[in-house]
Amino acid sequence: MSDPTARRSVFQFLFNRSAAVAIGVFAFSLFAYCQSGVLTLKDGWQFRQVGTEKWYSAEVPGVVHTDLLRHGLIPDPYVNFNADSVQWIEDKDWVYPRTITADRALLRNEHIDLVFKGLDTFAEVYLNGELLGKTDNMFRTWEWPIRKKLHRGVNELKVIFRSPITEGKKLSDAYGLQLPNANDPSGTSPYIRKAAYQFGWDFAPRLVSSGIWQPVELRCWNKARITTLQVRQQFEADSIRATIHAKVRGDKRASLHYFLDDRQIGERKIEPSRLDTIDAPFQFSVDKKDLWWPAGSGKQALHNIRVEVRNTNGKLLDEAQCNIGFRSVELRLEADSIGRSFTFVINGVPTFMKGCNIVPPDIFPSRSGDSAWVELVSAAQRANMNMVRIWAGGIYPPDAFFDACDTAGILVWQDFMLANMVPAEGAFLDNVLAEAREQAARLSTHPSVVLLCGNNELDVAWKNWGWQKKYDQLGADSARVYQTNRELWAHQLAEVANAAGLTYTWTSPLSNWGSAAGLRSGDLHYWGVWHGDEPIAALADYVGRFVSEYGFQSWPDSALLAKYIDPQELYLGSPALKYRQRSYKTDAPIWKAIRAGIR
């Protein structure tokens, strides 16, 4: 969804067809590790705006807006017209420090890595005044080895967040072309690897935040550790051949032990290199009697894969595990008498898909936590859905969401986070691909994840929405923008998906809703009712091969609205509701539908 002037409320759409040193010291003591261990750095953080004096306690995970709100320094942006009064936050720099007291037990570990699961977005990370590195992607994990940089006693850890608008403007100027940005008056969002909806969309206010939005950890390990665990499957005539890929880093001889449902199924010796991560694949076969099926088609049989790495004396150094389901996925795109199909085939069975599109449950993802995502899975299950699509302008959901989908049998269509055309060249391209590889590897073990998609609506928008003229991208510049983005969608991200063993489609939709041909081929976003002023009854007549978006905007229940706007504003067309209506269509289609129903 790239242009809110040609969209609708995503909450409704469905598809059912087919520091300076902080004040005070926070200390911890850590027992000596004989194997890998993780210590979460959750407490003891503080924050302030750069250039100001007073420190405030901070919550991690969290972001600037939620910290300011908790201290009563800003009004709730969700209430009345308050979102406008907090726009200044995006233009400021912020600093988050804490201290780490390293005792003798901690320092006995051979390796200590500082791991940030998510920094939003332009950050500088310092330890004892030394710059560890800079970050520029909300969707990536950032880590640095710090064992040699820690000293016994108090160590100062500090993260400085730079204004995403200021940094985005630098990147925009360096690229030299203004990319489409109808949802973002600053024009910076296409140049930033950050959740696009936070810059404003037709369902969301503009609240561009910064902060440590995911957990922070110290990873302590000795001799060797498992960095990645993936499982590939290949269906054969009478069995399934599975390959466990355990990537190991270390500097000593060791052995890997492979377990299926706590039963050891194999062992192999390895000789890691200090500088390299080695892939240690192990292959095994199982019969087809216990397959994983989507909801409504069969059971969700899950199996536990565990890999241990042990030294030559048999001492456990590290272990990693995941739950998998044995299943096959095919996206069947075939020419036929109608046009071209778009059919998911699960375990050899063409499966009718019914479900919804999902956007993040909060404008500040750290606030919603895992529980809100799991509740979405529960709601899909209660509605008899068997698939959800994660829209490209939000975030990649947490592991808990995918675990819940695995258990409930809810298939996941996961967009890569590309809801804007981007400067798909040089360092920016490398950044996107690193993000994609990390996320694809993370998702690859989940049986629920059946499709990765290269972008949302960007190809159809470029060709049909007048962007080239509107943004003055003409001639050679126009070709450069489209060709580099298409290469990213059609080839580079496809290679990432294939390397992770995941099915892929390069764009969605594959056809345009404004033509009869679009109804006959591929997946379709049908917005003829909301954007095309067709009657709601048209949804029964204009049915594509697979409708991955369609819908009609609706306001939330009045009980929910009453939490955020004054009671006297609870009527259609009130100033408070007009303020929240971000569709260029305004409430006109809703009034039209109401009047048609009354007649």
| CATH number of the domain enclosing 277 | 2.60.40.10
pLDDT of residue 531 exceeding 70: yes
The domain boundary residue, chosen from 324, 339, 358:
324
pLDDT of residue 7 exceeding 80: no
Check whether residue 420 and residue 490 sit in a common domain.
Answer: yes
Q: Is 24 contained in some domain?
A: no
Residue 13's pLDDT band (boundaries 50, 70, 90)? very low
Check whether residue 441 and residue 511 sit in a common domain.
Answer: yes
| Per-residue model confidence as pLDDT tens digits over 251-276 | 788 999 999 999 999 999 988 776 67
Q: Is 575 contained in some domain?
A: yes
Check whether residue 211 and residue 342 sit in a common domain.
Answer: no
> What is the chain's alpha carbon radius of gyration, rounded to the nearest angstrom?
25
Residue 466's pLDDT band (boundaries 50, 70, 90)? confident
| Per-residue model confidence as pLDDT tens digits over 102-118 | 999 999 999 999 999 99
C-alpha–C-alpha distance, residues 293 and 410, integer Å: 9
- The 3-class secondary structure across 335-401, one letter per residue, is ECCCCECCEEEECCEEECCCEEEECCCCCCHHHHHHHHHHHHHHHHHHCCCCEEEECCCCCCCCHHH
User: Encoding tokens for residue 480?
Assistant: 């450069």
Q: Is 587 contained in some domain?
A: yes
Low-confidence winner among 25-34, 202-211, 374-383 (lowest mean pLDDT): 25-34
- Report residue 530 CA to chain centroid gap: 27
User: Whole-model pTM?
Assistant: 0.92
pLDDT of residue 123 exceeding 90: yes
Check whether residue 380 and residue 479 sit in a common domain.
Answer: yes
The domain boundary residue, chosen from 291, 324, 357:
324
Check whether residue 124 and residue 156 sit in a common domain.
Answer: yes
pLDDT of residue 341 exceeding 90: yes
Mean pLDDT of the chain: 91
The domain boundary residue, chosen from 198, 218, 238:
218
Check whether residue 210 and residue 282 sit in a common domain.
Answer: no
Check whether residue 196 and residue 58 sit in a common domain.
Answer: yes
Q: How many residues does the chain have?
A: 599
556-584 average pLDDT score = 94
Residue 481 has a pLDDT of 93
CATH of the domain at 431: 3.20.20.80
Q: Is 432 contained in some domain?
A: yes
H-run or E-run covering 580: helix 575-580
Q: Is 486 contained in some domain?
A: yes
- Residue among 505, 507, 509 nearest 528 (CA): 509
Check whether residue 576 and residue 547 sit in a common domain.
Answer: no
Helix intervals (H) in 449-490: 458-464, 467-470, 475-487
Check whether residue 333 and residue 440 sit in a common domain.
Answer: yes
Q: Is 31 contained in some domain?
A: no
Q: Is 26 contained in some domain?
A: no
In the chain, what's the furthest Cα-to-Cα distance?
A: 82
H-run or E-run covering 598: helix 588-598
Q: Is 53 contained in some domain?
A: yes
- Report residue 405 CA to chain centroid gap: 15
The boundaries of the domain holding residue 569 are: 557-599
Low-confidence winner among 22-26, 396-400, 425-429 (lowest mean pLDDT): 22-26
Structural domains counted in the chain: 4
Check whether residue 429 and residue 335 sit in a common domain.
Answer: yes
| Per-residue model confidence as pLDDT tens digits over 475-529 | 778 889 999 999 999 999 999 999 999 999 999 999 888 778 888 998 999 999 9
pLDDT of residue 473 exceeding 80: no
C-alpha–C-alpha distance, residues 35 and 318, integer Å: 6
Check whether residue 537 and residue 589 sit in a common domain.
Answer: no
C-alpha–C-alpha distance, residues 410 and 151, integer Å: 48
